Amino acid sequence: MHRRRLIAYAGMAMPLAFLGLPLYVYVPATYAQLPAIGLTMTGLVLFGARLLDLLTDPAAGLLLDRWRYRVHPFVWMLIGAPLLGAGASWLFTPPPDAGALYLLLTVSLTYAGWTLVAVPYFAWGAELAETPSDHRRVATWREAGSVLGAVAALLLTAAAARDALPVLRDAMLWLLALALLMLVGVPRRPMANGIVGVSWTELWRHTPSGMRRLLGLHLLNATAASMPATLFVLYAAQVLQLSERHTGILLLLYFLSAVAALPLWLALARRVGESDTWLLAILLCAVAFLPAAFLGTGDADWFALVCLLTGATLGADIAMPAALQAQLARAQSERLGMPRHASAFGLWGMASKLAMAAAAGISLPLLSQFDAGEARSAALPWLYAWLPASIKLLVAALLWRQRRLLLPADIDGEVTRHETNATDNERLADAAARRL
């Protein structure tokens, strides 16, 4: 694939990632301070909206695939982008008397728009790539766009000081519009005529076993990755005693390290494949996180090294499994004779969102078991570092055993050239004997 097309495609990842900082950090704090809603109701509304949001990705994926023969993913993105822009605009600038209903409607509209942009966007990327190398490049460039979007949000937040939400809203709208214009230059490949739909049961029955394994690994790994993100601000403030400005600098270092390391991971994946590259990234991240459990006040420099090393693994930790999922989605589409890219990434999106919810649902209740003060400060480093590192080591062990099983098989069930399956060989031999 030409680099210009990759850049044009990767542009949409920026506003999607840019949205994360205000949505998950500033929105809860803003609404919790409103007299008509308060802290408890804000948490309940956001939790309920997130539960509903878990179901929208697979539902949208199935809908998109059913209508793929008539409606290109770009059209769905054009429908979702105004919903995303309008929902985020209203969500980020609530009136002083905004209540629970206002929050529920605006955050639900934002989530719905995000789904109608993100699911077809990922599915389109899987359609664009034809070879494993293409899938790696698409996923890597998309991850680069995501990291740059997060960096831009951090920089704008620092520049805007206290009144950050209106600035972030305007920047997100401009990025979203620019990304849509960039996508005009990305090729849109036609599909065969006709509309074909399958039930969820048939879809799961035809899902490659490698995709099921990959979804499980992704869920575990994303949960482990989301735990430090959930506890980062608490860890920096209570354990390291850092200011908000210093915390922002460390986050910036983390994401810049991710951007710098992406070309190295892509080069390694060309030599050893996505599974082994992902395995190495998981191991490096787990090992780099362990020292954070022993840091304390005055150890900001050592924690900067932790951020540098773990940030360097971020790109491979996200891009490599996404590239594998894209390859498996293409294999499933070819096996069924119909598009299944959106359904595959609908399940992927649901697993990602479930991981974020699980991370908060595990780490925060565990932390609340310790009394505020010294006991909680002593437990926080272990929950921040050792718990996610332990889960990542478990994922690494599972991936080591299954990494050769995460490869797509063709319609006849014959595995790729990287793997030999004895059962398939026996079936082929029996078929040859019958022909004799």
Same domain flag for 169 and 275: no
Q: What is the pLDDT of residues 358-415, one digit of tens each?
A: 887 777 777 777 666 666 667 888 888 899 999 999 999 999 988 776 666 543 343 3
Helix residue spans in 129-195 (DSSP H): 132-160, 164-183
Instruction: Look up tokens 């360097």; give the residue.
Output: 312
Instruction: Look up tokens 């199935």; give the residue.
Output: 62
> Is residue 284 in a domain?
yes
Q: What is the CATH number of the domain that holds 358?
A: 1.20.1250.20
Tokens of 320: 């490599």
The predicted pLDDT at position 431 comes to 41
Q: Taking Cα atoms as reference points, which of 283, 178, 318, 295 lies closest to residue 238? A: 295
The gap from C-alpha 421 to its chain's centroid, in whole angstroms, comes to 32
> Is residue 179 in a domain?
yes
Number of H helices, E strands in the chain: 18, 0
Same domain flag for 258 and 394: yes
Same domain flag for 32 and 100: yes
> Is residue 196 in a domain?
no
> Is residue 422 in a domain?
no
> Is residue 400 in a domain?
yes
How many angstroms separate the CA atoms of 26 and 59, rounded? 29
- Write out the H or E segment, with its range, that includes residue 256: helix 244-272
Is the separation of the CB atoms in 103 and 63 below 8 Å? no
Scored b (16 or more CB within 10 A) or e, 354-383 reads bbbbbbbebbeeebeeeeeeeebbeebbeb
Same domain flag for 210 and 180: no
Q: What is the pLDDT of residues 200-210, one digit of tens each?
A: 666 666 667 77
Q: Tell me the three state secondary structure of residue 431.
A: helix
Same domain flag for 214 and 163: no
Same domain flag for 45 and 121: yes
pLDDT along the chain (436 residues), means of 10: 84 91 78 79 81 84 79 89 94 88 92 92 84 84 89 84 80 93 78 52 68 90 88 84 84 90 91 91 94 88 94 91 85 72 84 82 74 68 90 94 67 37 38 39
Domain containing residue 262: 206-411
> Is residue 435 in a domain?
no
Same domain flag for 157 and 227: no
Count the residues in the chain. Answer: 436
The predicted pLDDT at position 32 comes to 76
> Is residue 200 in a domain?
no
Same domain flag for 169 and 31: yes
How many angstroms separate the CA atoms of 132 and 36, rounded? 53
Same domain flag for 172 and 293: no
**3-class secondary structure for 322-356?**
HHHHHHHHHHHHHHHCCCCHHHHHHHHHHHHHHHH
How many angstroms separate the CA atoms of 338 and 106, rounded? 35
Question: What is the number of domains present in the chain?
Answer: 2
Same domain flag for 27 and 172: yes
The predicted pLDDT at position 200 comes to 63
Expressed in percent and rounded to 5, the helix, strand and coil fractions of the chain are 80, 0, 20
Handedness of CA 177, 182, 185, 187 (dihedral sign): negative
Same domain flag for 320 and 380: yes
Is residue 196 left, alpha or beta, with left meaning phi > 0 and alpha meaning psi from -120 to 50? beta
Q: Which residues contact 79 (CB under 8 A, 6 or more apart)?
A: 116
Q: Taking Cα atoms as reference points, which of 289, 290, 268 lies closest to residue 279? A: 268
Same domain flag for 176 and 219: no
> Is residue 433 in a domain?
no
Measure the N-to-C terminal CA separation of the chain; round to a whole number of Å.
45
